Amino acid sequence: MDIQTLEATARQVRRDIITMTAAAGAGHPGGSLSSTEAMVALYFDVMNVDPKDDKNPDRDRFVLSKGHSAPALYGTLCERGYFGREEFDHFRQLHGILQGHPDTKKCPGVDASTGSLGQGISIAVGMALGAKHTGNKCHVYTIIGDGESQEGLVWEASMAAAHYKLDNLTVILDHNGLQIDGSNDEVMSLGDIKAKALAFGYDVIEVADGNDMKQVLDALHAPACKGKPRYIILNTLKGKGVSFMEGQVGWHGKAPNAEQAAQALKELEG
């Protein structure tokens, strides 16, 4: 798919994120907006998936380890054709398929239930190991957060990914630098995350602007490194695309009111 179309899709997903969170009066817009390019690139250009055949065993798998960025995933899945826009009205609502955090039992296209941080990457490692075991040629992608990387389980999973030589696994770090209580450095510094990923045995690609569709695509399409799991650092901007949310820690888990939503949607036109 051409870059312009993908960028337009990312803009639409951003509008979906605003629409959804505003309607629900809750949700996590900040980290959804920072990871939008990655999810759109995966579902529209990189992964072998088909919404009409969403249980096909050979499909590529995606696990949103930072499950609170569900609005970006739901927007992407909707635009890709997994379900209709009417589901947005029921985001975070009773009996809705779009739960506060992704639920594989309820939402088509969701391969693991996530939200308890650290677990998604570990489940993705299990999927990649299971794929190797069964001879399934699929590739497994997971997006983790930088705040999430404070969870020890992320590193247990990373150690196992390298140990089992999972070159069918791509871990994508949405590195927007912010978490609920402040910046990563204020809360619990990640240190040299690239050096850490390398030391854990990943083949690492760092993307200077993780909200630049071309740069994201180049990284995701880079040929696999035999015998090594891939780790892509996306340097992103929390709240990307909405001027008053960009780089603001306060928009981690707060929905825009009607007026703010209208302004955000206006900024995301075109």
How many angstroms separate the Cα of 130 from the Cα of each of 125, 134, 135, 171, 183?
A: 8, 6, 8, 16, 36
Closer residue to another protein (CB): 12 or 136: 136
Contact region with another protein (CB under 8 A), list: 26-34, 36-44, 125-133, 232-240: 125-133
Q: Which residue from 6, 77, 123, 216 is in contact with another protein, where contact means CB under 8 A? A: 123
124 touches another protein (CB under 8 A)? yes
Residues 6+ apart with CB under 8 A from 77: 43, 51, 83, 107, 108, 109, 110
69 with 240: CB under 8 angstroms? no
Asked whether the beta carbons of 98 and 91 are under 8 A apart, the reply is yes
Close Cβ partners of 156 (under 8 Å, ≥ 6 residues apart)? 122
Q: How far apart are CA 6 and CA 229, in angstroms?
A: 26
Which CB atom, from 154 or from 216, has the smaller least distance to another protein? 154
Among residues 122, 211, 215, 236, the one that binds another protein under rule CB under 8 A: 122
Q: Which is nearer to another protein, 13 or 117 (CB)?
A: 117
- Helix 3-24 to helix 70-80 angle (10° resolution) is 120
Using CB under 8 A as the binding rule, whether residue 64 contacts another protein is answered as no
Q: Write down the least CB distance from residue 241 to another protein, Å.
A: 31
Site string for another protein, 90-119 (x = CB under 8 A): -------------xxx-----xxx-xx--x
| Residues with Cβ within 8 Å of residue 262, at least 6 apart in sequence | none
Considering the complex, state which of residue 4 and residue 134 has its C-beta at the smaller distance from another protein.
Answer: 134
The one-letter amino acid code at 144 reads I
Residue 198 CB, nearest approach to another protein (Å)? 20
User: Hey, which residues between 147 and 166 contact another protein (CB under 8 A)?
Assistant: 152-153, 156-157, 159-160, 163-164
Q: How far apart are CA 204 and CA 229, in angstroms?
A: 9
The residue ranges that bind another protein (CB under 8 A) are 57, 61, 103-105, 111-113, 115-116, 119, 122-131, 133-134, 136, 152-153, 156-157, 159-160, 163-164
